[in-house]
């Protein structure tokens, strides 16, 4: 393998392969599950970290993955999505439904409008309540929607608030905003995670927080920029699915092309 192929293989294993158009059919979910794996030229099979689908498709996605022996691929889903509403009861109810459907991970949208208006307590309570629903059954990934948090200070405060309230991951974007993942937002978020690591992870390793950029990541070079940023801030050992995900489907085609020369496109992701 070339150095580029080694990086592409690593990036593939970090993908949250995503389809959130709200127009999916069962055939689309089966195609997504098929794209969750890639057969390399030497016969090895590699797979993504997770599929991210709407809650109603969780059982179907799990079935299609299991049919392909992809038991290790997690199912992620979304709540309070995509607008990041300020109704805590609604966000909790949706999170509870996600767990009931069988989600391994729930990506909850941060109530960024309320937060920007100064209601930090509501944002904290919403995340804490959703984390309580997830318990030990599912990871809670909090989508900050950094493209809407229009200053570095707001991104920093939102990152620290989400981590303190119990987020297992902090994620840049829904993929539905005009501005999605950026290196600048990633740098701020990773600094917040690193600061948390420095004060907590030595005593409580299970509390190590993960990072997920999402939206606009289309090439191996795009993915590597975030992989390098994670390495810089959190160390090379953090570049694993347990601490780092890449929220993109469009990048899969470029990774597949690097690894096998056979690009497969999927149009439902971001």
Q: Which residues are catalytic?
A: 107, 171, 212
Quick check: 23 and 69 in contact, CB under 8 A? no
Query: Got the DSSP string for the chain?
Result: --HHHHHHHHHHHTBEEE--SS---HHHHHHHHHTTEEE-TTS-EEE-SEEE--GGGHHHHHHHHHHTT-TT-EEEEEESTTT--S-HHHHHHHHHHHHHHT-SEEEEEP-HHHHHTT-HHHHHHHHHHHHHHHTTTSEEEEE--TTTS-SHHHHHHHHHHHHHHT-SEEE---S-SSS---HHHHHHHHHHHHHHIIIIITT-GGGPPEEE-BSS--SHHHHHHHHHHHHHHH-GGG-STTTB-BB-SHHHHHHHHHHHS-----TT--
CA atoms lying within 13 Å on the CB side of residue 47: 17
């Amino acid at each position: 393998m070339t150095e580029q192929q080694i990086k592409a293989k690593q990036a593939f294993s970090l993908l949250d392969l995503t389809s959130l158009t709200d127009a999916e059919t069962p055939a689309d979910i089966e195609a997504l599950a098929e794209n969750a794996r890639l057969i390399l030229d030497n016969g090895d099979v590699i797979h993504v970290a997770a599929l991210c689908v709407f809650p109603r498709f969780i059982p179907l996605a799990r079935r299609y993955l299991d049919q392909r022996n992809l038991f290790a691929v997690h199912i992620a889903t979304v709540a309070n999505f995509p607008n990041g509403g300020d109704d805590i009861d609604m966000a909790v109810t949706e999170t509870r439904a996600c767990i009931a459907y069988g989600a391994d991970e729930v990506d909850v949208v941060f109530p960024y409008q309320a937060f920007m208006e100064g209601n930090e307590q509501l944002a904290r309570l919403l995340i804490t309540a959703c984390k309580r629903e997830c318990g030990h059954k599912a990871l809670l990934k909090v989508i900050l929607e950094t493209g809407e948090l229009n200053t570095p200070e707001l991104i920093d405060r939102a990152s620290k608030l989400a981590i303190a309230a119990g987020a297992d991951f902090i994620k840049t974007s829904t993929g539905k905003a005009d501005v999605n993942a950026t290196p600048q937002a990633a740098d701020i978020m990773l600094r917040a995670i690193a600061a948390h690591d420095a004060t907590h992870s030595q005593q409580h390793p299970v509390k190590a927080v993960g990072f997920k950029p999402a939206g606009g990541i289309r090439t191996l070079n795009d993915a590597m920029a975030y992989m390098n940023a994670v390495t810089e801030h959190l160390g090379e050992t953090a570049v694993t699915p347990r601490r780092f995900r890449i929220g993109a489907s469009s990048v899969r085609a470029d990774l597949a092309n690097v690894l096998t020369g056979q690009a497969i496109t999927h149009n439902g992701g971001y």
